[in-house]
Amino acid sequence: MTTRININGIIEEDAVVSVLDHGFLFGDSIYEVVSTRGNRPCFLDEHLQRLRRSAEGIALTLPHDDEWFCQQVAFTLGSAGNTESYIRIIVTRGIGEIDIDPSTCHSPCVLIFVTSARIYPREWYENGIHLAVVNTKRNLKDALNPGIKTGNYLNNVLAKMESDRLGAQDALMLNSWGQLAESTTSNFFFVREGRILTPALDCGILAGITRNTVIRLAEENGFLVEEGEWPVEVLEKADEMFLTGTVKQIMPVTRLDGKIIGDGKPGSITRKLIHLYENLLKGLG
Ligand code: PDD
C-alpha cells in the first residue's frame, strides 16, 4: 500500500497542514472521496461538479479549474501506483488568524490524498450489516446543510460513535422532524412491496453520486423509485434496505436496531442492483 499526498500541486513525503489553517481550526473546508476502477477515477466529473457546488455553498473560490484537478489526480494516482485507490480531494479555507473570520485566509489549501482502496469485509456484502437508528439528528439543512460536503463531519462522527455503542456497523440518522435522512457516509434506501424508496434531497441529505446512479439504473431496469419524506415507522414494513456510497458502493442492511429485515439475507432487489452497479463499474475500468 502506497500513500501519496499532493499538496497544492506538489507531492510531499511529509505533507503537513498548518495549525492556523481554518480547515483544521474550524472544519472550514470541503472534500470529495473518489474511487477507482482499473486505478482510474470513477465519476470524477460528477465529484468535481459537487466539489464546486460545495465551494459555492461555503463561499470559497476554488483556486484551480477542473482540468487542473483531473491532471493532479492522475499524477498522484500514477505516483502511488496502487492496483485500486482511494482518492480524497480536500480544499481548506487556508491559513488565517486564529479567529473564525475567513477574510484573513487568502489562499485555499488543496490536498489530494491517494492510498490503496478501502475495502469493507466481504461478509458485510454477503450477509448484510446491522444499522442502528441513532438519537443524534442529522444537521439542520438551514444550519449546516448536509447537501454541502464540508470537512465538518462531527455530526456524523457522533452518530457513528452512537451506533458503535449500540453494536451496529453504522447509523441511520433522522432529521430534526424525525424523518429518515441518511447514514454517516452513505445514503439510505429501502424496498417495500417491490418499490425502491429513498429520502428526498429536501430531507437534508447529501446528493450522493452513487445514489443518483442507483436511481438511474433502477429506473432504466423497470423498477419504480420514489423519493419522499418518511417517518422511521415506515421501516417496520420494509422488505429490504441498503446503503449507497462511493466506498461502500451498495451495502445490504439486514438488521435494523437488532431486528431482522425480511429473511435476514440481502434481498433480491438489492442483489439485482449490486449486479447492475458492478456491471456499470466494469464498463468504466
Ligand atoms: N461519503 N452521505 C454522506 C453523509 C456522505 O458522506 C456520503 C459520501 C454519501 C454518499 O455519497 P457518494 O455516493 O457521492 O459517495 C452520502 C464519502 C464516501 C466519505 O465521506 O467517505
CATH number at 22 reads 3.30.470.10
Report the distance separating Cα 188 and Cα 215, nearest Å: 12
Boundary residue ending a domain (54, 86, 116): 116
Which pLDDT does position 17 carry in this prediction?
A: 96
For the CA of 146, the nearest atom of ligand 1: 4
Which of 185, 198, 211, 280 gets mutated to test ligand 1 (max ligand atoms within 8 A of its CB)? 185
Q: Are residues 143 and 280 in the same domain?
A: yes
Distance 247 CA to ligand 1 centre (A): 8
185 Cβ closer than 6 Å to some ligand 1 atom = yes
Distance 206 CA to ligand 1 centre (A): 7
Q: What letters, b where the CB count within 10 A reaches 16 and e where it falls short, cover 200-212?
A: ebebbbbebbbbe
Placement of cell 460528477 in the chain: 46
For the CA of 149, the nearest atom of ligand 1: 6
Q: Are residues 105 and 190 in the same domain?
A: no
Q: Are residues 142 and 65 in the same domain?
A: no
Report the distance separating Cα 43 and Cα 34, nearest Å: 8
The tens place of each residue's pLDDT in the chain, 285 residues long, gives 899 999 999 999 889 999 999 999 999 999 999 999 999 999 999 999 999 999 999 999 999 999 999 999 999 999 999 999 999 999 999 999 999 999 999 999 999 999 999 999 999 999 999 999 999 999 999 999 999 999 999 999 999 999 999 999 999 999 999 999 999 999 999 999 999 999 999 999 999 999 999 999 999 999 999 999 999 999 999 999 999 999 999 999 999 999 999 999 999 999 999 999 999 999 886
93 Cβ closer than 6 Å to some ligand 1 atom = no
Q: Are residues 110 and 178 in the same domain?
A: no
Whether 202 contacts 218, CB under 8 Å: no
Boundary residue ending a domain (100, 116, 132): 116
Which pLDDT does position 13 carry in this prediction?
A: 81
For the CA of 187, the nearest atom of ligand 1: 16
Which pLDDT does position 14 carry in this prediction?
A: 86
Q: How many CB atoms lie within 10 A of CB 78?
A: 11
Domain range enclosing 164? 122-284
Residue nearest to atom 6 of ligand 1 (CA): 185
